[in-house]
Amino acid sequence: MTSYSLFRQNVQQNQTTCELAVEYYLQSIEQRSDLNAFLTVNTDDARQSAKEADVRFKDDTPRPLEGMVVAIKDNISTKGLTTTCGSKMLQNFKPVYNATVIERIRNAGGIIIGKTNCDEFAMGSSNENSAYGNVLHPINNEYVPGGSSGGSAVAVAGGLAHTSLGSDTGGSIRQPAAFCGIIGFKPTYGRISRYGLVAFASSLDQIGPFANSIEDTALLLDTMSGHDPLDSTTANLPPTQSFYALHHHDDNVTVGVLPDEMLEGCNEDVISAYHNCIQKLRTSGYSITTVEIPGKSAWIPTYYILATAEASANLSRFDGIRYGFRGPENEGMDVFTSTRSLGFGPEVKRRIMLGTYVLSSGYYDAYYKKGQQARRLVHNGYKEIFAACDVLFLPTTPSTAFKFGEKSKDPVSMYLSDLYTVSANLAGIPAISIPVGNGANSMPLGMQLQAAEFEDEKLLRIAKHTMDLFA
């Protein structure tokens, strides 16, 4: 797994070219087609972009991401390139515009290699919910790669691209990053434009990168961040400068850690690795303080009430009339019924029904309104935590990757895979998963760092140092 930063050095030293890199990745995608990581490969455009990138390197005018090969989750709009969201509902849909992040990556010299498989409409934790088949783990095909951005994680972990983009609504970048042994970063809500991201839960969704190095993560953040007039939820802030600040040393960093009782539900591999990492942090000079996050038992219920309610509203646009799949019926309400019955998979239907229920008359106050109140408590709780520490260190997932079929028939067990990730989405704070070794089953382990809102640059600096420490 080669980082883009190292690749760029090699290009500048005339040891390789962007064309060679693109050909290598195209061959790798074909050779590892069994992984089912890609739904669409952008062959011709990638080759042309590579030629243009080599000219810029030769002319000594490379842009920040010149020649970076990037895979894109298939719920991010790409002009003229099929965008399915992993669903039959959009099986032949080609957007007429690019998402803002795609425009910014292209303008910075990035090369879009293709679109990656994902759980349908980003709903899932295992990549077993795609209408186009499971994504397989590159280390052991019996295990899930995580979800919903499983294809994007496998593209990086399997050596099929330098970096990739995913979306994170409740952990869909960080969880597969942990399962696949790579970096997965969810920026602060509003740091990166969501324009062109097919909405699951609009107040929770955030686009973010997968990478093999913090340097590559920082480059993508700096490129994609900044206010976007096409997305009213983006913060009115300039792009970050995190790449150039990575080597700045933060003095007297205090790391918040969880008490043992908040590790209930984690397996022994995760608990042991967590304690070992804390000891390394302590001996390297970090100040360690134990913090309580109020309402942990309410995180999952709160998240699934709010996320499904928003999904119910957002997915109402898929009706067989305007675009996308259309069912066989042609009369009145039968069009809607057949289209949505045949176009959506079981997990999406489950969440739409749950969301419609919590928004319905008589249940809105009992569920949705209380969910919003609980979300405010999570947000306020994090404010108290970051008044006492610079970053919070916690597990990314309660276990390493599980096997296919192990949890697919038990939705509650599957949802608990997001136990330590959903709180960052509820609070809108930045969070990153970094690899810390392997469990007893030889599958990767990930740990998570979280920081206060818009402290993305500080979070990446501390993440870089801790990754070096844990290596």
Query: In the 3-class helix/strand/coil scheme, how is 380-401 assigned residue by residue?
Result: HHHHHHHHHCCEEEEECCCCCC
Between the alpha carbon of residue 382 and those of residues 295, 386, 392, 393, 467, the distances in Å are: 11, 6, 9, 13, 24
Of the residues 73, 115, 458, 464, which is catalytic? Answer: 73
Other Cβ atoms within 10 Å of 332 Cβ, number? 8
Sheet holding 183-186, edge to edge: 38-41, 111-116, 69-73, 163-167, 207-211, 183-186, 431-438, 444-451, 391-395, 254-257, 287-290
Sign of CA dihedral 82, 83, 85, 88: negative
Of the residues 49, 77, 149, 172, which is catalytic? Answer: 172
Whether residue 320 contacts residue 336, with contact meaning beta carbons closer than 8 Å, is answered with: yes
Provide the pairing of β-strand 111-116 with 163-167. unpaired
- The CA dihedral of 291, 296, 300, 301, to the nearest 10 degrees, is -150
Radius of gyration of the chain from Cα atoms? 21
Structure tokens at 378: 């999570």
Q: What are phi and psi of 438, to 5 degrees?
A: -125, 155
Instruction: Respond yes or no: is residue 172 known to be catalytic.
Output: yes
Query: In the block, which residue shows the tokens 């990314």?
Result: 396
Of the residues 3, 77, 148, 167, which is catalytic? Answer: 148
What ranges in 315-405 are assigned the alpha helix state H? 332-343, 346-359, 370-388
- The amino acid that residue 194 corresponds to is R
Half-sphere exposure of 81 (CA within 13 A, CB side): 27
Instruction: Respond yes or no: is residue 125 known to be catalytic.
Output: no
Catalytic residue positions, numbered: 73, 148, 172
